[in-house]
Amino acid sequence: MNIREEDIYNFIIGRTPILVNRILLRNFRKEKLDITMEQWSLLDLLWKKDGCTQHELGARTFREKASITRLLDKLEQQNIVIRVPDRRDRRVRFVYLTAKGKSIEETATRVVRETYKHAIAGIPEEQVLICKRVLNQVFENLAEEGDHWTACETA
Partner DNA sequence: AATTTGTAGTTGCACAGGAAACTAATTATG
Partner DNA sequence: CATAATTAGTTTCCTGTGCAACTACAAATT
Q: In the complex, which residues of this chain contact a second copy (CB under 8 A)?
A: 1, 3, 5-24, 37, 40-41, 44, 61-63, 109, 112-113, 115-123, 125, 127-128, 130-139, 141-143, 145, 147, 154
SS3 5: coil
Of 21 and 86, nearer to a second copy (C-beta) is 21
Q: In the bound complex, what is the minimum distance in angstroms from residue 2's beta carbon to DNA?
A: 26
Binds 115: which of DNA, a second copy, none (CB < 5-8 Å by kind):
a second copy
Question: Which is nearest to 97 in space by CA: 71, 114, 79?
Answer: 79
Give whichever of 5 and 89 is closer to a second copy, judged by the CB atom. Answer: 5
Q: How far apart are CA 92 and CA 84, in angstroms?
A: 9
- Report which of 151, 55, 2, 33 is spatially closest to residue 101, judged by C-alpha positions: 33
Q: With the C-alpha atoms ordered 44, 104, 117, 119, is the resulting torsion angle positive or negative?
A: negative
Residue closer to DNA (CB basis): 67 or 109: 67
